[in-house]
Structure 1
């Protein structure tokens, strides 16, 4: 068993066995391999980086090279039980469009992202006026792929505005879960399980 990143382990544990899954921005396929091997899922991936695509294919996974911002339009409605977007939301040019696409393609969507309102980020901005470089946010401001700095509260507000249902949410602090109460301040990472609202 490969040691999955904490947010991925959480997602893997909550995907129903035998589901059809689309992993958007699947990286080297670590999560897809776990879903296939441990949960008997039919996992497909979309990944922009050629090296990652090759690594995932070497694991015998079905991955297409493509960009979440443009290539999700090609997938048919409700073709997957789950669409997963882990740490890719903040790198998308139009995250709100990507979210809509996820919930069009999948019946449910898992979305995980680093919380830019975490206290360390706030402290770094407050004391030094600089974007922090931490274990979870290792790049400097100019070479980071994170072009949208989303916070837990921003995401909650956006989801409510779009009329999407939050089925569950988990908050990580380092590698451990933390409560949702002060998540905007304390969580370094958030994982949301979203579903379409049936009223739309």
Structure 2
């Protein structure tokens, strides 16, 4: 199956996949919500209710301009102010690898939300491996920053993430693996850890 880089509504294709996973009328917490594009889209098309957490002041201002409920906060400070099962979905898109303890963050996410939606760049992609074999830190469409300015501190592969989920008894309800153009394909299906550049997971806690 092929997905366009952007949907007819102008939403990036990986975010469009996420929106399809979310039930209408759900309570949402979007961690590292950026300028509020996804929350705004979900509120208009899925009638969701919820909040975004964002640390960047410019993004917070953009959220406010969109009418998105946003709290300025650092995700590494945790989610202790939120009650257990306060949300139907907690979203963490392209932020996992920038957290100090992503495993602890996911544990908290699955405490405050019945389900978690997590996306991250796959460090096992063949372009990443090739650049490492050449002795250089990788630069790809999913990892566009130089090593000295990247916010990423805990990069992982698809296999790493799935091993963590199995260890912590987190169930993968849905998985979508995309290439650099945010498309699915037969190569990714056959060898996901080698050909997927962006990974998306919908998780539940079995515990």
Gap runs ≥5 in structure 2: 1-7
Aligned equivalents of 2:9, 2:60: Cα separation in 1: 18
Q: Which residue number in structure 2 is paired with residue 148 of structure 1? A: 154
Deviant stretches of 4+, over 4 Å: none
Aligned equivalents of 1:42, 1:148: Cα separation in 2: 31
Give 1:13 shift: 1.5
Structure 1 length-normalised TM? 0.95
Q: Which residue number in structure 2 is paired with residue 117 of structure 1? A: 124
- Tell me, yes or no, if the aligned pair for 1:35 and 1:41 is still in contact at 8 Å: yes
1:182 to 191, 198, 204: 191
Give 1:180 shift: 4.0
- Tell me, yes or no, if the aligned pair for 2:118 and 2:202 is still in contact at 8 Å: yes
Q: Which residue number in structure 2 is paired with residue 18 of structure 1? A: 25
1:105 to 104, 112, 115: 112
| 1:30-41 correspondence to structure 2 within 5 Å | 30-41=37-48
Aligned equivalents of 2:9, 2:98: Cα separation in 1: 25
Structure 2 length-normalised TM? 0.92
Cα deviation digits, residues 69-109 of structure 1 (max 9, x gap): 11412111000000000001000001011100110010000
Give 1:171 shift: 0.1
Cα deviation digits, residues 126-145 of structure 1 (max 9, x gap): 1x211122222110011011
| 1:1-200 correspondence to structure 2 within 5 Å | 2-126=9-133, 128-173=134-179, 174-178=181-185, 179-197=188-206, 200=207
Give 1:9 shift: 1.4
- Tell me, yes or no, if the aligned pair for 2:96 and 2:102 is still in contact at 8 Å: yes
- Tell me, yes or no, if the aligned pair for 2:120 and 2:200 is still in contact at 8 Å: yes
Relative to structure 1, is the Cα distance of residues 180 and 77 closer, same or farther in structure 2, using a 3 angstrom cutoff?
farther
Aligned equivalents of 1:4, 1:115: Cα separation in 2: 21
- Tell me, yes or no, if the aligned pair for 2:78 and 2:108 is still in contact at 8 Å: no
2:83 counterpart SS class: coil
- Tell me, yes or no, if the aligned pair for 1:78 and 1:107 is still in contact at 8 Å: yes
Give 1:2 shift: 4.8
